Amino acid sequence: MGDAFLHEPGSLWPGTRVKEIRVASKTGGNGSAGADAGGAGRGLKVRVKTARGRTVSQTRWLQRQLNDPYVAAARRDGYRSRAAYKLAEMDDKFHLLRPGALILDLGATPGGWTQIAVARTNADPAATGKRGRVVAVDINPMDSVPGSDFLLLDFLDPEAPDLVRALLGGAPDVVLSDMAAPATGHRPTDHLKIVALCEIALDFAVAVLAPGGAFVAKVLQGGTEGTLLTLLKKNFTQVRHAKPKASRADSAEMYVVATGFRPATEPEPEDTAP
């Protein structure tokens, strides 16, 4: 889930069942976000003068947001969140998104990744050429992004995989997961929660991805757990870790990028003829 401008991020950690399925119609960013937010951070530092009922940690978070060059760049470029630049940078490096591709975006709210995916797959209804499609999923509401279908539900619900499959209507070329659990402040616990969400997203990706497809998911520094890494290497030709420049330097956040999906081959039936 991306970092909203001045709203503390929500989560996709157990919640309610399906609330809404919506085809998008509003306009968003243009997808040309590079990793450079340079000019956005050269102004005077903004200080939060009063807490106004906020806790110390909330005040610090707000001050950090107000002085973040990527937050300023996102406002300037029309993106829902600074997280748009994370996906843009990873796509520039690993070439994940292409015109005409079908993309699944898990933990999509507030929509920064969805905007980049829509623009780079040519999914916007106003676009010309080979059209892509983006399916976005989150437990929290999200304003529509043109070229994407939005499914408001808890991906951990047992019924979620079938609902997402139905909306996809085919094998996605890329499964993106920016899902995150509420932080506890206890790093080992937070790491385990993030890895659990990554494993859930990976299980679904392995079941639905098109051959040669890609999987991108949020993890924490320390990388993936041994079992998860083994599964990734078994199912993809390349597995790498990435920390985009747009990811805050003091954050433990990073991403696993797996490309070249290899579907498991069905075993041949045994010959039982006499």
**What residue ranges do the domains of the chain occupy?**
20-36+81-261
Which pLDDT belongs to residue 97? 98
What string of DSSP letters covers the chain? ---BSSS-----SS--S--EEEE--S----S---S--GGGG-SPPP-----TT--HHHHHHHHHHHT-HHHHHHHHHT-SBTHHHHHHHHHHHH----TT-EEEEES-TT-HHHHHHHHHTT-STT--SS--EEEEEESS-----TTEEEEES-TTSTTHHHHHHHHH-S--SEEEE---PPP-S-HHHHHHHHHHHHHHHHHHHHHHPPTT-EEEEEEETT-S-HHHHHHHHHHEEEEEEE--TTS-TT--EEEEEEEEE-PPPPPPPP----
Q: What is the pLDDT of residue 185?
A: 78
Residues with a catalytic annotation lie at: 218
C-alpha closest to that of 119 among 109, 110, 127 = 127
pLDDT at 189: 83
Helix axes 112-120, 83-94, angle to 10 degrees: 40
pLDDT at 69: 72
Residue 216: name the closest of 130, 127, 103, 129 by CA: 103
CATH classification code of 20-36+81-261: 3.40.50.150
How far apart (Å, rounded) are the C-alpha atoms in residues 105 and 95? 16
Regions of the chain where pLDDT drops below 70: 1-54, 56-68, 222-225, 265-274
